[in-house]
């Protein structure tokens, strides 16, 4: 009996030991799985955080670099438009002219902060430079092999980064062509130094590099990487670099870069070996962004050391958590206290839910505050944009008034001379008791003053500041007033305007002055397009189509190139010669018509010439017509 009891006890002990072994094996397997998942999950999480920080830093560095270059982009353009600068290129220069040219380039460099400013003739020879009095001046050197000079001689703004063949210093070059009529006389070049920007990139957490189209690093926060390539250069790249002399006398050795595999899209991991071997290598997460205009690629290489350390810490914490869990589970299993375990689980779940609710509420509150701030900023930006548009419209009208001042002076002088003549004749006729004829002269004087008052009325209406509010307008009155205002220019150009408007009572909701500005701009552009024609002709048609009013204006000029139709309403896009327009007229007209709830488009007429179509919403005829806006 005792032996049987001992046998049962021994069996129970064996079962318990067997169950303990199975439980320990399962626990160890679970622990290994948890640690592996924790390592992979934490690695992705902390690498993603590193990527977000690197992307934010990349935005900052990219904006800094783009802003530093942008402030110099217009300098050569403005110099090329200066009359004195153009005169330097048009004739051989004496000693005094050369001195003034050198002083001008030196002054421009001092005022703008540019490293060098110099003038090159059509053969690429530098005849004036800001460093004319230095040990290694550019004067007398021929840089026709540089791509920026070739681009400028093609009529474009040249851009290029290179190591100076004379100065030996790195710089970014802007080159603008100098025109005489349509002939390119040479180029104005401004060299910008990026040394100060590079010196400011001293962050220890990441490294910043800027590479050219061949992958050569020419700007780097880590000096040892300068003039190194991310990959070995092929023969074509080496030949292109040699032809442009971008890195003359520089050994372009590749970095020892090894790509690392990382699951998922986005930036990739790379490992760069040190100068002494793989033992000194470091792992980086690389985030890049292209600068198309400059032809560069800006990259931030963030070290993954912190992310890997955090992953190890997270794995250790997971191991500690597993150990604690096993101890708690053993204690619970020993005491057979499932009820207490259930209560503890419910309490933990409740606390976690409350914490999540609080965190989500805080996130939503922060998002709402950010959204309200962004809405306010967008509203302010829209208000500023509308104000700028109004100011440009007003400036354009005043410029048109200035251009017509000579013709208006002639228009007023003729009636004034006639009034004086009629008044003198009327005085003589009254002295001779010829009152009937004197009355006719007075009537002519009255007609002439009415004509002058009508001209003044158009000028005052056109010159006043436009209102923002929209009101019902009779479209025929706006067209008549605008064409009456342009009558002098039309007569001087010998232009014939045909206006076809079957229904003169059509109304639209718009601003009178701003709508006049749109019609004025379209008619002026049509006259400019037919500038060299003996008998220019403009056709204006007004058609009612459903609930819309279609105003079509056609000229008989050369029309619009198909490549330019899509860009004709872009700001600062113009097909006119330099100095004859800023390219803002059609852009402003586009925004004005859009504010009226309409649209404007450009196309070519099958019979020749360009057609601009303005589509406006039609208003039903009211019982009383309000005053125009």
More confident residue, 271 or 98: 98
Q: How confident is the model at residue 451 (pLDDT cuts 50, 70, 90)?
A: low
- In this predicted structure, what is the pLDDT of residue 94? 81
How far is residue 167's CA from residue 115's CA, in Å, rounded to a whole number? 11
- In this predicted structure, what is the pLDDT of residue 177? 92
- In this predicted structure, what is the pLDDT of residue 277? 43
pLDDT at 613 over 90: yes
pLDDT at 601 over 70: yes
pTM of the model as a whole: 0.43
- In this predicted structure, what is the pLDDT of residue 262? 54
Do strands 217-220 and 253-254 pair parallel, antiparallel, or not at all (unpaired)?
unpaired
How far is residue 582's CA from residue 578's CA, in Å, rounded to a whole number? 9
Answer whether 123's CB lies under 8 Å from 144's CB: yes
Backbone angles phi, psi at 492, to 5 degrees: -65, -35
> pLDDT tens for residues 52-95?
887 887 787 777 777 777 778 888 888 888 888 888 888 767 88
pLDDT at 407 over 50: no
- In this predicted structure, what is the pLDDT of residue 465? 52
- In this predicted structure, what is the pLDDT of residue 505? 86
Q: How confident is the model at residue 514 (pLDDT cuts 50, 70, 90)?
A: confident
Do strands 548-555 and 610-619 pair parallel, antiparallel, or not at all (unpaired)?
antiparallel
- In this predicted structure, what is the pLDDT of residue 35? 80
How far is residue 299's CA from residue 240's CA, in Å, rounded to a whole number? 23
CA distances to 62, 172, 213, 456 from 290, rounded to whole Å, are 9, 16, 10, 56
Other beta carbons within 10 angstroms of residue 180's beta carbon come to 12
Domains of the chain: residue spans and CATH: 82-195 (3.30.450.20), 467-629 (3.30.565.10)
Average pLDDT over residues 473-502: 85
Average pLDDT over residues 115-127: 89
More confident residue, 276 or 571: 571
pLDDT at 2 over 80: no
CA distances to 387, 466, 531, 558 from 384, rounded to whole Å, are 5, 16, 36, 37
Helix (H, G, I), strand (E, B) or coil at 117: strand
> pLDDT tens for residues 99-108?
888 888 889 8
More confident residue, 461 or 120: 120
- In this predicted structure, what is the pLDDT of residue 576? 67
pLDDT at 592 over 60: yes
- In this predicted structure, what is the pLDDT of residue 460? 57
How far is residue 130's CA from residue 605's CA, in Å, rounded to a whole number? 52
> pLDDT tens for residues 30-39?
888 888 888 7
- Each as own residue / partner, the long-range contacts of residues 127-136 (CB below 8 Å, 24 or more positions apart, any chain) are 127/88, 127/93, 127/98, 127/101, 128/88, 128/98, 128/101, 128/102, 128/104, 129/102, 129/105, 130/102, 130/105, 130/106, 131/106, 131/167, 132/102, 132/105, 132/106, 133/102, 136/166, 136/167
Rg (CA), the chain: 39
- In this predicted structure, what is the pLDDT of residue 279? 44
Mean residue pLDDT across the chain = 77
- In this predicted structure, what is the pLDDT of residue 462? 52
Q: How confident is the model at residue 493 (pLDDT cuts 50, 70, 90)?
A: confident
Phi-psi region of 282 (alpha: psi -120 to 50; beta: other; left: phi over 0): beta
pLDDT at 629 over 80: no
* Encoded tokens for 37: 């998942």
> pLDDT tens for residues 187-200?
999 988 877 777 77
Average pLDDT over residues 26-46: 80
Q: Which residues make beta-bridge pairs with 300?
A: 208, 287
> pLDDT tens for residues 275-322?
434 445 678 878 888 877 767 788 887 777 777 777 788 888 888 888
Average pLDDT over residues 418-442: 78
Q: Tokens 């990259």, residue?
A: 299
- In this predicted structure, what is the pLDDT of residue 83? 82
How far is residue 320's CA from residue 112's CA, in Å, rounded to a whole number? 62
CA-wise closest residue to 489 among 537, 527, 541: 527
Enumerate residues 6+ apart whose C-beta is below 8 A from 491. Answer: none
């Amino acid at each position: 009996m005792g032996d049987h009891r001992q046998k049962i006890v021994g069996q129970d002990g064996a079962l318990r030991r067997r169950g303990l072994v199975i439980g320990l094996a399962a626990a160890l397997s679970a622990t290994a799985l948890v640690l592996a998942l924790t390592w992979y999950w934490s690695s992705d999480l902390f690498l993603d955080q590193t990527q977000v920080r690197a992307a934010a830093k990349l935005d900052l560095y990219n904006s800094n670099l783009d802003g530093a270059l942008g402030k110099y982009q217009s300098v050569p353009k403005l110099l090329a438009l200066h009359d004195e600068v153009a005169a330097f290129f048009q004739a051989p220069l004496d000693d005094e002219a050369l001195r003034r040219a050198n002083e001008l380039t030196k002054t421009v460099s001092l005022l703008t902060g540019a490293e060098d400013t110099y003038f090159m003739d059509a053969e690429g020879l530098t005849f004036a430079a800001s460093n004319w009095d230095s040990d290694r001046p550019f004067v007398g050197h021929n840089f026709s092999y540089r791509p920026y000079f070739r681009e400028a001689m093609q009529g474009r703004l040249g851009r290029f980064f290179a190591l100076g063949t004379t100065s030996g210093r790195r710089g970014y070059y802007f080159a603008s062509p100098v025109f005489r009529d349509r002939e390119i006389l040479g180029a104005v070049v401004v060299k910008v130094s990026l040394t100060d920007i590079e010196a400011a990139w001293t962050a220890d957490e990441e490294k910043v590099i800027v590479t050219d189209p061949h992958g050569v690093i020419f700007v780097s926060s880590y000096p040892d990487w300068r003039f190194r390539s991310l990959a070995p250069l092929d023969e074509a790249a080496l030949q292109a670099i040699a032809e442009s002399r971008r890195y003359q006398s520089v050994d372009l050795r590749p970095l020892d870069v090894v790509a690392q595999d990382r699951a998922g899209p986005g930036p990739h991991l790379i490992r760069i070996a040190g100068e002494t071997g793989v033992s000194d290598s470091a792992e980086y997460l690389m985030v890049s962004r292209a600068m198309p205009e400059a032809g560069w690629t800006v990259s931030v290489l963030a070290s993954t050391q912190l992310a890997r350390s955090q992953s190890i810490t997270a794995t250790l914490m997971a191991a500690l958590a597993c150990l604690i869990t096993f101890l708690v589970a053993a204690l619970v299993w020993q005491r057979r206290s499932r009820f207490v375990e259930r209560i503890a689980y419910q309490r933990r779940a409740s606390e976690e839910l409350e914490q999540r609710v609080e965190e989500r509420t805080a996130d939503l509150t922060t998002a709402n505050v950010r959204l309200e701030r962004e809405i306010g900023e967008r509203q302010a930006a829209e208000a500023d944009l509308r104000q700028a548009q109004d100011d440009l419209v007003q400036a354009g009208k005043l410029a048109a008034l200035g251009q017509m001042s000579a013709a208006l002076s002639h228009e007023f002088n003729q009636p004034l001379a006639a009034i004086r003549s009629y008044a003198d004749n009327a005085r003589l006729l009254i002295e001779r008791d010829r009152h009937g004829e004197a009355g006719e002269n007075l009537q002519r004087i009255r007609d002439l003053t009415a004509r002058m008052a009508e001209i003044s009325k158009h000028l005052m209406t056109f010159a006043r500041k436009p209102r923002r509010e929209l009101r019902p307008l009779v479209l025929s009155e706006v067209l008549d007033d605008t064409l009456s205002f342009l009558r002098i220019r039309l007569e001087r150009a010998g232009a014939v305007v045909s206006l076809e408007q079957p229904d003169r009572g059509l109304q639209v909701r718009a601003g009178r002055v701003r709508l006049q500005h749109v019609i004025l701009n379209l008619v002026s552009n049509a006259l400019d397009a037919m500038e060299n024609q003996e008998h220019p002709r403009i056709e204006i048609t007004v058609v009612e189509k459903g609930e819309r009013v279609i105003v079509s204006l056609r000229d008989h000029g050369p029309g619009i190139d198909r490549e330019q139709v899509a860009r004709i309403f872009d700001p600062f896009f113009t097909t006119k010669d330099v100095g004859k327009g800023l390219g803002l007229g059609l852009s402003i007209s586009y925004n004005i018509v859009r504010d009226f709830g309409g649209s404007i488009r450009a196309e070519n007429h099958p019979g020749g010439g360009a057609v601009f179509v303005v589509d406006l919403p039609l208003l039903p005829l009211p019982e009383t017509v309000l005053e125009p806006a």
